[in-house]
Each structure stands twice: as C-alpha cells, then as structure tokens.
A and B are shown apart, each in its own frame.
Chain A
Amino acid sequence: MDLDPLLLGAAPAKGKRPWFFSDPDVERLLNVVMALAMELAVTRQRLDALERLLEARALLPREAIEGFAPSPEAERERQLMLREFQIRLLRIFLQDAQRERTPAESIERIMKELAEGSGP
C-alpha cells in the first residue's frame, strides 16, 4: 500500500478552517506549542512508565530518583543543562530584552546611511 500514514494522518478536513485569534499566525504558533506540549506529556508518561517498571523489577527503587544526589560535578552539569534548555526555549524573549538595553537601528536606516554619497 503506497500511503504515507503520517501525511495522511495529518490531512486537513474538508471545509474552511476558522481562526479565532485576530492574528492567525499567533494561533498557528499556539497549535505548534500544543503539539509540543502533547509530545512532552507523552515523554513524561513514558519516563514514568520506565521508572515504575524498573522499580517493579527491583532494578531501581523510585526513591533513588526522588532522592538522587548528584556529585558536585554532575550537579553543575545538570544546572547548565537547565540553563541551556531555557535559553533555547526563550530565545525570542531574551533577544527582545537585550534590544531593550541597546536599541537597535533599523536595517532601512543603515541601508540609507551606507548609500549616502553614491549617486547616479
């Protein structure tokens, strides 16, 4: 059967799609975020299943995870992981905040400036 289940599964429904936000692009983004949230929830549930199975097989008591005490070195690495994750996630806001400090000039203004003096 020459059908791609992934693409077919994501087929649009016949009929015009309504948009509820004044800016449909914001709503598109919401849809991406919700898909991300769903896959994150799926991952967390999977991890939870893993932990419980490990515990049920006496391979790893759950307290070992709850009370996990990393070495100082591991702790630093883990904190850095969190920091990196957050910076990746929040890039757009962090960049906005940065520009607040050093107001950026528009590319059009610079284009004009650099073009000064050149003439026909």
Chain B
Amino acid sequence: MLRRNMSDLSSVSIPPPPPSWRHVGRHGVFPAAGHDDTARFDFLANLNSLLASEVLPRVRDAYERRAVPAYTEAHGHPPRDRREAHEALKGERLWQTFSALRRCSMEMRQQTGRTLVLKQLPELIAKAHAYNEGASTLKLDPTIEQPRYASAVDIHCMPGGYHAELVPDDVSAGANYDSGLFATTAGMLGRFSDGGGRAVAAWLKREYPDFRPRRILDVGCTIGHNVVPLAQAFPEAEVIAVDTAAPVLRYGHARARSLGVHNLTFMQANAEALPFPDQYFDLVTSAMFWHETSAKALPRILKEIGRVLAPGGLTLHLEQPQYTPEMPLFEQAMRDWDAYYNNEPFWSVMHELDLKRMLLEAGFRGEDYFETTIRALVDRELFPEAGQGQEDYGRTPMWIAFGAWKRG
C-alpha cells in the first residue's frame, strides 16, 4: 500500500496491478514469446499503470497549485483553453517527469514488441502465408498509396507506422501492434484487445434486436481486432474490412482465419475512394479511426460512407470522448498528450470537431444522429478490474459511439 496525503484517506491504496501479458489472447499468427519478453511487457504495463494512478493525479495538483498561478502571473489571466493549459504545464517539473517517463515507456514498448517480432519474422511470415495463400478473403492492391496523414510521422512512435514493409510479405507491423496493445492498455481491452468491437456488437443486439445487416464495412481496420467481434455477431453477414496498409491486413486476415472467422474479407483500399457500388452496405463502422485522418480527408471519407450505405442502413463510429466546455482544461490538455508526444497529429483537432455537423455535412440528417457512451466489454473472469480502474486520459476503455441512420 502506498501512502498518499494523510488527509486523502479515501484513496490510500493503489489499484491492483494489471494482468500479466501472459494472458494475452493467442492465435495462429501471434508471435511466440519467452519469459523475458513477457516480463518486459509486464514491466511496461505496470509502469503505465503506476504513472496513471500515482503520478497523473499529482500532476493535476501541481497544475492547480503551481502551473496555473505561474501562468496567470506571466500572462495576466489563467489558461483559457487546453493549448494554454498545455503551455502552463510545460514549465511544471512533475509534468516533465511524467511526460519523460511516458515517452520513454512508449519507446521501450515499441522496441520490445519490434525486437520480439523481428527475431522471428521469417516464421511469422510463413505462418501468415499458410492462412493467406490463395484466400479470396485477402485482397491486396499494391497501387494503394499511404495518405500523407498516415505517413508524415510514425503514428504512436511505431517505427515504420502501419505500412512499412521491411521484406516482401511483411507482417511485422501487425504483429508488433498486436503484441504491444495489451501492455499499453494494461489489458483493459480484453485478451484479444477487442473490448470495443464486442461492446458495439452487444449494443447493436440489445438496442436493435431486429437489425440484421447483410453487408458490413469497417474502415481503417488495422489488424481487425474490433471488426472480428462484429463478424462473429453477424455470422450471416458478408463483412469487409479496409485499410491502406498491407502488413496489418496480411496479419489481420491470418489472425481472423485462425480464430475461425470466415465471413470477413480484408481489402487494401483507401476510405476516401471506396471501391464499392452505391448503397452496398447496411452497416459501416470505424473504431478509433477518425483521429488518424485529416481535416480534408475526413469529410471525403464520410461522403463515401454515405454513398456506400444502403437506405435504412447505419453508420457507427467509436472514438475517445470529445473536448467539451464542461471538460476541465487539465483533462483536455492531458488528453492532448498523445497528439504532441505520441505522434497523433490530427488527434487534437479531431477531438474538437462537432461530430453531428460532420455527419450532417456528409448528407445525414440531424434527427437520425445518435451518440452514446460505451465501455469495453471484456472477460470479467480474467479481468475483474476491466473497465473500472484508473483514468489514463486518452487511453481508457471508454468511448463515445456515434453515428446516424440513413433515411430509407
């Protein structure tokens, strides 16, 4: 038990440690890991969890006690928006320590995952090949280019981003992403990091028991961990997942196959120009995708979604919560951390967009818009703490699900 302030007796114990990476969901292309790699991921998950539960609240105290008064002194007014709050934090030592450790932890996570994966890359490629060869459910198109917003910097500080190919048939970006996600999120998304997709599927079944989409599209699917639950929830549906990056598609396809999912096609395509006829899908989804696009691309993508959606169909998106005037500036500034320091260049702007207006401008109607809060649905037996735990701004297993029905 770690003692805090004596006056703060309501919270004298730190949250239980995150589940060991040993419990991560394995499948046919999951990288093999020995004792030491497991211990490295466990070290990192614990470090993140400690930073979130023990250091972040003290950064908030320091913000109020020191950073705001110092900023006010220098500028004649307290921080008025999250950018000014960010400026105020930059001079605060505790924020510097928190940030230096968090950045360090992100970089160590990348090194751990990549080294683990690259050491066995030929084996991983062979495993993926065994699932992918000749499959009509994997459609790669080498003419697809990576958009500028996906390649200007390496997102999440993943060297090579989602798309770099070190060798032909490379799957390393997918395997690295898959292996580290469980540690970065302290297991709170579930063994297969699919808590978001499972929650969406359950929400759809509960709220719209009669909704039976015949065709489903997921855009920006990465390794497909959040679309697999949808394919499982609607086994009769034909599900298509698109992404611009080939390594994650190869890996995602093999992963889905090995998990016994066969109604899911992975296709290399750009969401700004979807290669589907009008009104082709009854459901179009995305998860944590909007923030990795751009102000120019997003309206184009939404128009495309509106076009391929059939009348009576639904489009549904998951994102971290938007910045609202009610959200404290400190929280906003800390949620912006990943934008500046974890290479998420559209995160900050995206999270202040008027989501409803974005969809209206793409042709949807105001009365057909909805927005709700969704929490990760994970294996409570393995993770009794999942979905509760501490707030790690920007990384909590809680999202807004929003979207619109298309008029029939």
Residues of A at the B interface (CB closer than 8 Å) are 1, 3, 5-6, 8-15, 17-21, 27, 30-31, 34-35, 37-38, 41-42, 45-46, 49
Instruction: Determine which of A8, A12, A13 lies in contact with B118 in the assembled complex, contact meaning CB atoms within 8 Å.
Output: A8
Q: Please measure, in the bound complex, the distance between the C-alpha atom of A109 and the C-alpha atom of B315, giving whole angstroms.
A: 76
Q: B386: CB under 8 A from chain A? A: no
Residues on B with C-beta less than 8 A from A12 are 159
Shortest beta-carbon distance from B209 to chain A in Å: 45
Known: A1-B122, A11-B159. A6 touches B101 (CB 8 A): no
Q: B161: CB under 8 A from chain A? A: yes
Residues on A with C-beta less than 8 A from B103 are 17-18, 20
Shortest beta-carbon distance from A43 to chain B in Å: 9
Instruction: Determine which of B44, B99, B101 lies in contact with A38 in the assembled complex, contact meaning CB atoms within 8 Å.
Output: B44
Residues on A with C-beta less than 8 A from B118 are 3, 5, 8-9
Nearest B residue to A37 via CB reads B43
Instruction: Determine which of A5, A18, A34 lies in contact with B340 in the assembled complex, contact meaning CB atoms within 8 Å.
Output: A18
Chain A residues touching B, majority SS: helix
Q: Please measure, in the bound complex, the distance between the C-alpha atom of A1 and the C-alpha atom of B116, giving whole angstroms.
A: 16
Residues of B at the A interface (CB closer than 8 Å) are 35-36, 39-40, 42-44, 47, 95-97, 99-101, 103-105, 107-108, 110-111, 114-116, 118-119, 121-122, 151-154, 157-161, 166-167, 340-341, 343
Which of A30, A38, A45 has the most C-beta atoms of chain B within 10 angstroms of its own C-beta? A38
- Report whether B100 and A38 are in contact in the complex, using a CB–CB cutoff of 8 Å: no
Q: Please measure, in the bound complex, the distance between the C-alpha atom of A37 and the C-alpha atom of B39, giving whole angstroms.
A: 12
- Report whether A20 and B160 are in contact in the complex, using a CB–CB cutoff of 8 Å: no
Residues on A with C-beta less than 8 A from B36 are 42, 46
Q: Please measure, in the bound complex, the distance between the C-alpha atom of A29 and the C-alpha atom of B309, giving whole angstroms.
A: 53
Shortest beta-carbon distance from A52 to chain B in Å: 12
- Report whether A38 and B121 are in contact in the complex, using a CB–CB cutoff of 8 Å: no
Q: Please measure, in the bound complex, the distance between the C-alpha atom of A8 and the C-alpha atom of B170, giving whole angstroms.
A: 14
Instruction: Determine which of A13, A18, A20, A37 lies in contact with B110 in the assembled complex, contact meaning CB atoms within 8 Å.
Output: A13
Query: 14 more A-B contacts (CB under 8 A) besides A3-B121, A15-B157, A34-B108?
Result: A11-B114, A11-B159, A13-B107, A13-B110, A13-B159, A14-B151, A18-B99, A18-B340, A21-B96, A21-B100, A30-B101, A38-B108, A42-B39, A45-B39
Shortest beta-carbon distance from B196 to chain A in Å: 25
Known: A18-B340, A34-B101. A3 touches B167 (CB 8 A): yes
- Report whether A13 and B101 are in contact in the complex, using a CB–CB cutoff of 8 Å: no
- Report whether B160 and A11 are in contact in the complex, using a CB–CB cutoff of 8 Å: yes
Nearest B residue to A14 via CB reads B154
List, sorted by A's number, 22 A–B pairs whose CB atoms are closer than 8 Å: A1-B122, A5-B114, A6-B115, A8-B166, A9-B114, A9-B115, A10-B114, A10-B115, A13-B158, A14-B152, A15-B343, A18-B103, A20-B96, A20-B103, A21-B100, A30-B101, A35-B108, A42-B36, A42-B43, A45-B35, A45-B42, A46-B39
